[in-house]
Amino acid sequence: MIERESVQVYVNGRPVLRRVQIEPTNRCNFTCGYCRRTHWARPEGDMRLERFREVLDRLPEVSHIHLQGVGEPLLNKDLPVMIRCSRLCGARVGTTTNASLLSMKKAMALLDSGINRINLSVDTLEATDFSRLRPGLSIKKVLANITELAELRYNGGYEDISLAFALVTVQPAIESLSSIIRLAAELGLDEVYLQNLNGSFLPAGYLDEESPGDNGYGYYREATQSAHALASRLGIRFLPPAMDIPDYSWRCRWPLHGCNVTWDGFVSPCCLQPDPDVLHFGNLFETDFEKIWSSPAYHHFRARVQADCEPLCAGCPDRYGQMWHPTANPFAELQP
Protein backbone atom coordinates (compact mmCIF):
# COMPACT_ATOMS: atom_id res chain seq x y z
CA MET A 1 0.00 0.00 0.00
CA ILE A 2 1.18 3.53 -0.82
CA GLU A 3 -0.10 6.44 1.24
CA ARG A 4 0.22 10.13 0.47
CA GLU A 5 -1.15 12.62 2.97
CA SER A 6 -3.15 9.80 4.60
CA VAL A 7 -4.90 9.04 1.31
CA GLN A 8 -4.76 5.45 0.07
CA VAL A 9 -3.80 5.50 -3.60
CA TYR A 10 -3.23 1.80 -4.28
CA VAL A 11 -3.93 -1.34 -2.26
CA ASN A 12 -2.30 -4.58 -3.37
CA GLY A 13 -1.47 -2.97 -6.70
CA ARG A 14 -5.07 -1.92 -7.38
CA PRO A 15 -6.29 1.67 -7.64
CA VAL A 16 -8.55 2.78 -4.79
CA LEU A 17 -11.77 4.61 -5.55
CA ARG A 18 -11.73 7.89 -3.63
CA ARG A 19 -14.24 10.13 -5.36
CA VAL A 20 -17.42 9.53 -7.26
CA GLN A 21 -19.75 11.76 -9.22
CA ILE A 22 -23.35 10.53 -9.03
CA GLU A 23 -26.02 11.88 -11.35
CA PRO A 24 -29.31 12.67 -9.56
CA THR A 25 -30.95 13.40 -12.92
CA ASN A 26 -30.05 14.00 -16.54
CA ARG A 27 -33.00 16.32 -17.02
CA CYS A 28 -32.22 20.02 -17.31
CA ASN A 29 -34.19 23.21 -17.71
CA PHE A 30 -31.38 24.82 -19.76
CA THR A 31 -30.10 24.06 -23.25
CA CYS A 32 -26.60 25.50 -23.06
CA GLY A 33 -24.89 25.31 -26.44
CA TYR A 34 -21.55 24.19 -24.99
CA CYS A 35 -23.08 21.42 -22.87
CA ARG A 36 -22.73 17.84 -24.03
CA ARG A 37 -26.29 17.10 -22.97
CA THR A 38 -27.72 19.54 -25.53
CA HIS A 39 -26.28 17.46 -28.36
CA TRP A 40 -27.31 13.94 -27.44
CA ALA A 41 -30.55 11.99 -27.25
CA ARG A 42 -30.31 9.73 -24.19
CA PRO A 43 -33.52 8.79 -22.34
CA GLU A 44 -34.25 11.23 -19.53
CA GLY A 45 -34.83 10.22 -15.95
CA ASP A 46 -34.13 10.73 -12.26
CA MET A 47 -32.32 8.41 -9.89
CA ARG A 48 -34.92 7.26 -7.39
CA LEU A 49 -34.02 7.56 -3.73
CA GLU A 50 -34.04 3.82 -3.15
CA ARG A 51 -31.72 3.41 -6.14
CA PHE A 52 -29.41 6.08 -4.74
CA ARG A 53 -29.23 4.27 -1.42
CA GLU A 54 -28.41 1.12 -3.36
CA VAL A 55 -25.54 2.95 -5.08
CA LEU A 56 -24.13 4.03 -1.71
CA ASP A 57 -24.43 0.48 -0.39
CA ARG A 58 -22.66 -0.97 -3.42
CA LEU A 59 -19.79 1.53 -3.53
CA PRO A 60 -16.77 1.18 -1.26
CA GLU A 61 -16.08 3.93 1.22
CA VAL A 62 -15.19 7.13 -0.65
CA SER A 63 -13.94 10.46 0.62
CA HIS A 64 -15.91 12.73 -1.72
CA ILE A 65 -19.25 12.51 -3.49
CA HIS A 66 -20.35 15.13 -5.99
CA LEU A 67 -24.04 15.05 -6.90
CA GLN A 68 -24.07 16.25 -10.46
CA GLY A 69 -24.31 14.88 -13.96
CA VAL A 70 -25.44 16.39 -17.22
CA GLY A 71 -28.73 17.56 -15.69
CA GLU A 72 -29.79 20.10 -13.08
CA PRO A 73 -29.63 18.36 -9.68
CA LEU A 74 -32.43 20.46 -8.16
CA LEU A 75 -34.89 18.85 -10.57
CA ASN A 76 -34.63 15.73 -8.42
CA LYS A 77 -36.84 16.40 -5.40
CA ASP A 78 -34.84 13.92 -3.30
CA LEU A 79 -31.54 15.81 -3.62
CA PRO A 80 -31.43 17.00 0.04
CA VAL A 81 -32.08 13.46 1.29
CA MET A 82 -29.37 12.13 -1.04
CA ILE A 83 -26.95 14.61 0.50
CA ARG A 84 -27.85 13.52 4.03
CA CYS A 85 -27.44 9.86 3.11
CA SER A 86 -24.02 10.60 1.60
CA ARG A 87 -22.90 12.48 4.68
CA LEU A 88 -23.95 9.56 6.88
CA CYS A 89 -21.52 7.46 4.86
CA GLY A 90 -18.71 9.75 5.97
CA ALA A 91 -18.11 11.48 2.64
CA ARG A 92 -17.78 15.16 1.95
CA VAL A 93 -20.57 16.15 -0.43
CA GLY A 94 -20.99 18.85 -3.04
CA THR A 95 -23.31 19.73 -5.89
CA THR A 96 -23.38 22.13 -8.82
CA THR A 97 -26.53 24.00 -9.77
CA ASN A 98 -27.52 26.61 -12.33
CA ALA A 99 -29.46 28.28 -9.47
CA SER A 100 -32.53 28.97 -11.59
CA LEU A 101 -34.69 26.72 -9.37
CA LEU A 102 -33.11 27.77 -6.10
CA SER A 103 -36.18 29.05 -4.24
CA MET A 104 -35.93 29.96 -0.56
CA LYS A 105 -37.43 26.57 0.36
CA LYS A 106 -34.93 24.66 -1.76
CA ALA A 107 -32.05 26.83 -0.56
CA MET A 108 -32.90 26.09 3.07
CA ALA A 109 -33.25 22.39 2.30
CA LEU A 110 -29.75 22.38 0.80
CA LEU A 111 -28.25 24.30 3.71
CA ASP A 112 -29.92 21.99 6.24
CA SER A 113 -28.84 18.82 4.41
CA GLY A 114 -25.27 18.77 5.70
CA ILE A 115 -23.76 19.62 2.32
CA ASN A 116 -20.15 20.82 2.29
CA ARG A 117 -20.02 22.74 -0.98
CA ILE A 118 -22.39 24.32 -3.49
CA ASN A 119 -21.07 25.41 -6.89
CA LEU A 120 -23.19 28.05 -8.59
CA SER A 121 -22.85 27.84 -12.35
CA VAL A 122 -22.90 31.38 -13.76
CA ASP A 123 -20.77 32.09 -16.83
CA THR A 124 -21.53 35.77 -17.27
CA LEU A 125 -23.38 38.65 -15.64
CA GLU A 126 -24.16 40.35 -18.95
CA ALA A 127 -27.84 39.80 -19.75
CA THR A 128 -27.51 39.38 -23.52
CA ASP A 129 -24.61 36.94 -23.27
CA PHE A 130 -26.39 34.98 -20.54
CA SER A 131 -29.54 34.62 -22.62
CA ARG A 132 -27.48 33.46 -25.60
CA LEU A 133 -25.49 30.93 -23.60
CA ARG A 134 -28.51 29.75 -21.60
CA PRO A 135 -31.68 30.35 -23.62
CA GLY A 136 -34.96 30.78 -21.85
CA LEU A 137 -33.95 32.47 -18.61
CA SER A 138 -32.69 35.85 -17.47
CA ILE A 139 -29.65 36.44 -15.31
CA LYS A 140 -31.79 38.60 -13.02
CA LYS A 141 -33.70 35.64 -11.61
CA VAL A 142 -30.57 33.55 -11.16
CA LEU A 143 -28.75 36.33 -9.31
CA ALA A 144 -31.76 36.94 -7.07
CA ASN A 145 -31.72 33.27 -6.06
CA ILE A 146 -27.97 33.28 -5.44
CA THR A 147 -28.22 36.44 -3.36
CA GLU A 148 -30.94 34.87 -1.22
CA LEU A 149 -28.87 31.70 -0.74
CA ALA A 150 -25.84 33.72 0.34
CA GLU A 151 -27.94 35.72 2.81
CA LEU A 152 -29.49 32.55 4.25
CA ARG A 153 -26.06 31.02 4.68
CA TYR A 154 -24.73 34.09 6.47
CA ASN A 155 -27.75 34.77 8.67
CA GLY A 156 -28.37 31.12 9.48
CA GLY A 157 -24.87 30.27 10.63
CA TYR A 158 -24.05 27.97 7.71
CA GLU A 159 -20.71 29.57 6.94
CA ASP A 160 -18.93 26.21 7.08
CA ILE A 161 -20.64 25.46 3.74
CA SER A 162 -18.48 26.64 0.85
CA LEU A 163 -20.18 28.65 -1.89
CA ALA A 164 -18.44 29.16 -5.21
CA PHE A 165 -19.17 30.63 -8.60
CA ALA A 166 -18.32 28.00 -11.23
CA LEU A 167 -17.50 29.22 -14.74
CA VAL A 168 -16.33 27.56 -17.93
CA THR A 169 -13.77 29.16 -20.21
CA VAL A 170 -16.08 30.64 -22.82
CA GLN A 171 -15.40 34.17 -23.97
CA PRO A 172 -18.24 35.87 -22.01
CA ALA A 173 -17.05 34.23 -18.78
CA ILE A 174 -13.52 35.54 -19.24
CA GLU A 175 -14.86 39.01 -20.02
CA SER A 176 -16.99 38.88 -16.85
CA LEU A 177 -14.27 37.66 -14.48
CA SER A 178 -13.73 40.96 -12.70
CA SER A 179 -17.43 41.66 -12.21
CA ILE A 180 -18.08 38.09 -11.03
CA ILE A 181 -15.24 38.30 -8.50
CA ARG A 182 -16.59 41.60 -7.19
CA LEU A 183 -20.06 40.09 -6.87
CA ALA A 184 -18.64 37.07 -5.05
CA ALA A 185 -16.98 39.38 -2.54
CA GLU A 186 -20.17 41.42 -2.15
CA LEU A 187 -22.22 38.29 -1.44
CA GLY A 188 -19.64 36.72 0.85
CA LEU A 189 -18.89 33.75 -1.41
CA ASP A 190 -15.65 31.84 -0.96
CA GLU A 191 -14.39 31.09 -4.45
CA VAL A 192 -14.61 31.80 -8.14
CA TYR A 193 -13.78 28.60 -9.95
CA LEU A 194 -12.92 28.54 -13.66
CA GLN A 195 -12.49 25.31 -15.61
CA ASN A 196 -11.95 24.22 -19.17
CA LEU A 197 -14.77 22.33 -20.81
CA ASN A 198 -15.25 20.75 -24.22
CA GLY A 199 -11.87 21.89 -25.52
CA SER A 200 -12.55 25.63 -25.44
CA PHE A 201 -8.86 26.39 -25.99
CA LEU A 202 -8.03 23.80 -28.63
CA PRO A 203 -7.01 24.92 -32.15
CA ALA A 204 -9.57 26.90 -34.09
CA GLY A 205 -10.94 23.92 -35.99
CA TYR A 206 -12.29 22.55 -32.72
CA LEU A 207 -13.55 25.76 -31.22
CA ASP A 208 -17.09 26.96 -30.86
CA GLU A 209 -18.02 30.56 -31.51
CA GLU A 210 -17.78 31.52 -27.84
CA SER A 211 -14.07 30.68 -27.57
CA PRO A 212 -11.26 33.25 -27.72
CA GLY A 213 -9.71 31.22 -30.55
CA ASP A 214 -6.07 30.49 -31.32
CA ASN A 215 -4.97 33.83 -29.89
CA GLY A 216 -6.81 33.13 -26.63
CA TYR A 217 -3.84 31.97 -24.56
CA GLY A 218 -2.27 35.39 -24.09
CA TYR A 219 -5.64 37.01 -23.58
CA TYR A 220 -6.60 34.31 -21.09
CA ARG A 221 -3.40 34.68 -19.08
CA GLU A 222 -3.74 38.45 -18.94
CA ALA A 223 -7.38 38.23 -17.86
CA THR A 224 -6.75 35.60 -15.19
CA GLN A 225 -3.70 37.38 -13.80
CA SER A 226 -5.75 40.55 -13.43
CA ALA A 227 -8.61 38.56 -11.90
CA HIS A 228 -6.25 36.87 -9.45
CA ALA A 229 -4.90 40.22 -8.26
CA LEU A 230 -8.43 41.55 -7.77
CA ALA A 231 -9.56 38.40 -5.95
CA SER A 232 -6.57 38.60 -3.61
CA ARG A 233 -7.44 42.17 -2.69
CA LEU A 234 -11.07 41.24 -2.04
CA GLY A 235 -10.35 38.05 -0.10
CA ILE A 236 -11.78 35.68 -2.72
CA ARG A 237 -10.08 32.45 -3.69
CA PHE A 238 -9.72 32.48 -7.48
CA LEU A 239 -9.03 29.13 -9.12
CA PRO A 240 -8.30 29.18 -12.86
CA PRO A 241 -7.18 25.97 -14.56
CA ALA A 242 -3.52 25.44 -15.34
CA MET A 243 -2.90 26.63 -18.89
CA ASP A 244 0.77 25.74 -19.33
CA ILE A 245 -0.06 23.06 -21.87
CA PRO A 246 0.88 20.72 -23.33
CA ASP A 247 2.46 18.97 -20.35
CA TYR A 248 3.21 15.53 -21.72
CA SER A 249 4.08 14.17 -18.27
CA TRP A 250 0.55 14.83 -16.99
CA ARG A 251 -1.96 11.99 -16.87
CA CYS A 252 -5.60 12.18 -15.90
CA ARG A 253 -6.37 10.59 -12.51
CA TRP A 254 -10.09 10.01 -12.96
CA PRO A 255 -9.81 6.45 -14.33
CA LEU A 256 -7.57 5.48 -11.41
CA HIS A 257 -9.36 6.95 -8.43
CA GLY A 258 -12.74 8.29 -9.52
CA CYS A 259 -15.77 7.30 -11.51
CA ASN A 260 -19.09 8.60 -12.74
CA VAL A 261 -22.44 6.90 -12.06
CA THR A 262 -25.37 7.91 -14.27
CA TRP A 263 -28.94 8.23 -13.05
CA ASP A 264 -29.68 4.76 -14.44
CA GLY A 265 -26.62 3.11 -12.92
CA PHE A 266 -24.00 3.01 -15.67
CA VAL A 267 -20.40 3.36 -14.48
CA SER A 268 -18.06 5.39 -16.68
CA PRO A 269 -14.45 6.38 -15.93
CA CYS A 270 -14.83 10.07 -16.74
CA CYS A 271 -16.87 13.04 -15.59
CA LEU A 272 -16.44 14.71 -19.00
CA GLN A 273 -17.53 11.68 -21.02
CA PRO A 274 -20.47 10.32 -19.00
CA ASP A 275 -22.48 9.04 -21.97
CA PRO A 276 -22.87 5.26 -21.48
CA ASP A 277 -23.71 4.92 -25.16
CA VAL A 278 -20.11 5.96 -25.83
CA LEU A 279 -18.35 4.19 -22.96
CA HIS A 280 -19.27 2.35 -19.79
CA PHE A 281 -17.93 -0.66 -17.91
CA GLY A 282 -21.13 -2.02 -16.43
CA ASN A 283 -24.30 -1.13 -14.61
CA LEU A 284 -24.19 -0.85 -10.84
CA PHE A 285 -27.77 -2.09 -10.55
CA GLU A 286 -26.89 -5.28 -12.42
CA THR A 287 -23.26 -6.01 -11.54
CA ASP A 288 -21.25 -5.84 -8.33
CA PHE A 289 -19.11 -2.69 -8.29
CA GLU A 290 -15.94 -4.61 -7.48
CA LYS A 291 -16.39 -6.66 -10.64
CA ILE A 292 -16.85 -3.47 -12.67
CA TRP A 293 -13.91 -1.63 -11.06
CA SER A 294 -11.54 -4.60 -11.41
CA SER A 295 -12.68 -5.78 -14.83
CA PRO A 296 -10.09 -6.38 -17.58
CA ALA A 297 -11.82 -3.78 -19.77
CA TYR A 298 -11.51 -1.09 -17.06
CA HIS A 299 -7.89 -2.10 -16.44
CA HIS A 300 -7.04 -1.86 -20.13
CA PHE A 301 -8.71 1.54 -20.39
CA ARG A 302 -6.62 2.84 -17.48
CA ALA A 303 -3.49 1.48 -19.12
CA ARG A 304 -4.32 3.22 -22.41
CA VAL A 305 -4.91 6.52 -20.61
CA GLN A 306 -1.61 6.26 -18.75
CA ALA A 307 0.13 5.37 -22.02
CA ASP A 308 -1.55 8.34 -23.75
CA CYS A 309 -3.11 6.17 -26.43
CA GLU A 310 -6.84 6.27 -25.61
CA PRO A 311 -8.71 7.76 -28.62
CA LEU A 312 -11.68 8.90 -26.53
CA CYS A 313 -9.39 11.25 -24.61
CA ALA A 314 -8.25 13.15 -27.70
CA GLY A 315 -9.17 16.81 -27.28
CA CYS A 316 -9.90 16.51 -23.56
CA PRO A 317 -8.72 19.57 -21.59
CA ASP A 318 -7.32 17.26 -18.92
CA ARG A 319 -5.18 15.22 -21.32
CA TYR A 320 -2.01 17.31 -21.29
CA GLY A 321 -2.96 19.91 -18.74
CA GLN A 322 -5.19 20.11 -15.73
CA MET A 323 -8.65 21.51 -16.41
CA TRP A 324 -8.71 22.50 -12.73
CA HIS A 325 -6.44 24.86 -10.91
CA PRO A 326 -3.89 22.54 -9.23
CA THR A 327 -5.22 23.31 -5.73
CA ALA A 328 -8.79 22.67 -6.86
CA ASN A 329 -7.99 19.43 -8.66
CA PRO A 330 -9.99 16.70 -6.90
CA PHE A 331 -7.02 14.37 -7.29
CA ALA A 332 -4.30 16.84 -6.31
CA GLU A 333 -3.45 14.85 -3.18
CA LEU A 334 -2.98 11.73 -5.30
CA GLN A 335 -0.28 13.10 -7.59
CA PRO A 336 3.17 11.50 -7.48
Where exactly are the structural domains of the chain? 26-253+319-334
Entry pTM = 0.86
The CATH code of domain 26-253+319-334 reads 3.20.20.70
DSSP 74: G
pLDDT at 211 (0 to 100): 53
pLDDT at 109 (0 to 100): 98
pLDDT at 5 (0 to 100): 35
| Calpha distance 46→101 (Å, rounded) | 16
151-166 burial by CB neighbour count: b if 16+ within 10 A, else e? eebeeeebeebbbbbb
pLDDT at 226 (0 to 100): 93
Successive 10-residue mean pLDDT values, the chain, 336 residues: 39 78 92 68 91 95 92 97 96 95 97 97 89 83 97 96 90 88 98 71 40 60 90 94 60 86 94 82 96 94 86 68 46 39
pLDDT at 205 (0 to 100): 35
pLDDT at 45 (0 to 100): 95
CA angle at 16 for the pair 14 and 20, rounded to the nearest 5°: 140
| Calpha distance 298→282 (Å, rounded) | 10
pLDDT at 325 (0 to 100): 43
DSSP 99: S
pLDDT at 253 (0 to 100): 79
